[in-house]
Amino acid sequence: MSADSKVFVMGEEVGEYQGAYKVTKGLLQKFGPDRVLDTPITEAGFAGLGVGAAMYGLKPIVEFMTFNFAMQAIDHLINSAAKTNYMSGGTINVPIVFRGPNGAAAGVAAQHSQCFAAWYGQVPGLKVLVPYDAEDARGLMKAAIRDPDPVVFLENELLYGESFPVSKGVLDPSFTLPIGKAKIMREGNDLTLVAFSKMVGYALKAADELAKEGISVEVINLRSIRPLDRETINASVRKTSRLLTLEEGWPQHGVGAEICASVVEESFYYLDAPVERICGADVPMPYAANLERLAVPQIDDIIRAARRACFRKEDMRQATA
């Protein structure tokens, strides 16, 4: 915002309240009410305003208090923001960022717990980013704002309270990350485990436990759902010969399904075991805490799936029982 006067932020409680999750803290005092705009509770209204402003040449950052509320504005995201460049023959760009928390939090039930990565990842014209740590958040957000196309930036509410180490390079004002490039968080030889957002942390913890059993896991942080870094995924699978995908979203037509299809199409003859998806349960999110835990992947689920992929006897017996 300091470097480009065309960038502005709008959304519910982004200004006076400093953001529902304090992501926009201090921006109103620094840039003023003309560039940090509090809106009424009308997602369809302010999302449409943002798309129009982007078509005019500004660079809006539209915050949804949760992406579940973005369904009120989904026509603007898909039919206006995503398709206008194509429908105008490339004459109109829509440089807008839609950002906010996505996926399950804690105790907010079915209407506030959905993962929209697969929803928006299917749409030509959108770019869909899914940061995990502080490096991802900083580098991908700057890249998203500078991008000439509409970007859906899916954060995670539970990650707002976590701290991550960062290098001096990440703090450099010029630091950005390329859109569409995954990151290998941990190298391994026995199994490829692909995850995004909060599930990357679960994948890394599971990999630590599996290492104690002699299973070497390569963990890939997608960073980007669309475009999807198929090259990095397939290169890893050709090395490890096994694939697990991990996501909070529902299994049918999910991100993991697309990754598995890509690997079967491009690297099938390198596989030594069936591919497997670890997903959220195929049900609306329960409210009760004990049921909620059963509805989203846990570290033990990852460990059991990894043992199956590596043909460890105890889990093969369970799988065929």
Catalogue the active-site residues: 43, 112
What CA–CA distance (Å, rounded) separates 128 from 121?
6
Q: Which residues contact 312 (CB under 8 A, 6 or more apart)?
A: 213, 215
Q: How far apart are the first and last CA of the chain?
A: 58
What CA–CA distance (Å, rounded) separates 225 from 153?
10
Residue pair 187/220 in contact (Cβ under 8 Å)? The answer is no
Q: Name the β-bridge partners of 195.
A: 221
Amino acid occupying residue 178: P
Most distant CA pair in the chain: distance in Å?
Answer: 64
What CA–CA distance (Å, rounded) separates 260 from 233?
10
